[in-house]
Amino acid sequence: MARYGDPGAVEWVESGGGPLIAVPAVALSSWSGADGAGLETDYDRACGVDAYGGLVTVGQSLALVLGDEPASTSFLPEHGVFFRWCAAESEAELLAGIDAALAEAVWEPEQRWDVPGAVVLFDAAWPGGELEPENHLRVELELGRYGVRGTYVEPDPQTSFILVQLRRLV
C-alpha cells in the first residue's frame, strides 16, 4: 500500500475510499468489514459515523471509526492523536503544525472509550481477520478509559489535517 512520506518520519495507513477504524486487537476477528450476509455490514456501520471520530460495537468491545474523509492516517503516541493528512506539500510541513494545532484546537464533543489494550488501525472495509502486514498499523494503548475528541485544523491555505485525540482518563 502506498503511503505518503514513505519512508518518512511516521507510518501512514490509507483506505480505499471509506473510513478507517481502530479495532481492539482482542476483537479483530469480530470485525467483518464489507463482508456479511445481513442487510447492514460492519463497513456500513462505520460509514454511518458522522464525526471525526465515533464509536461502534465490535464483539464485546468498542472500536473507533475515523470518519469525515478517507485521509492517510498515522498515530503520534507522544501527542496521543490519530493524525490525518488532508492537504500538505510534505510530511515535514504537515508535522510542523501539530504543536500549535493542539494548543489552539476547537474540539468536537468528547466521547468515552473503554480500551482493552492495543488497537489495530485499518480500512474499515477489510475483515479484521484478513489483515496483511502492509495495510494496518498497530497502536499500543494502555488498558483503560479514554476521552476521544476530534478537530479539523487549517494552519494555512495549503495545509490541513484532522486530529482525533485520545486522552487517558483516571
pLDDT tens-digit profile of 67-80? Answer: 888 899 999 999 99
- Is 25 strand, coil or helix? helix
Q: Is the full-model pTM beyond 0.85?
A: yes
Distance CA 28, CA 141 (A): 15
Q: For 26-63, how does the pLDDT look when each residue is reduced to its tens digit (9 = 90+)?
A: 999 999 999 876 788 999 999 999 999 999 999 999 99
90-128 CB burial, b ≥16 within 10 A, e <16 = ebeebbebbeebbeebeebeebebebeeebbbbbbbbbb
- Is 44 strand, coil or helix? helix
pLDDT of residue 7: 57
| Domain parsing of the chain, residue ranges | 20-168
Question: Please, what sign has the CA dihedral across residues 123, 49, 69, 155?
Answer: negative
Distance CA 135, CA 163 (A): 21
Q: Is 6 exposed, middle or buried (0-12, 13-18, 19+ CB in 10 A)?
A: exposed
Percent over 70 (pLDDT), the chain: 95
pLDDT of residue 42: 95
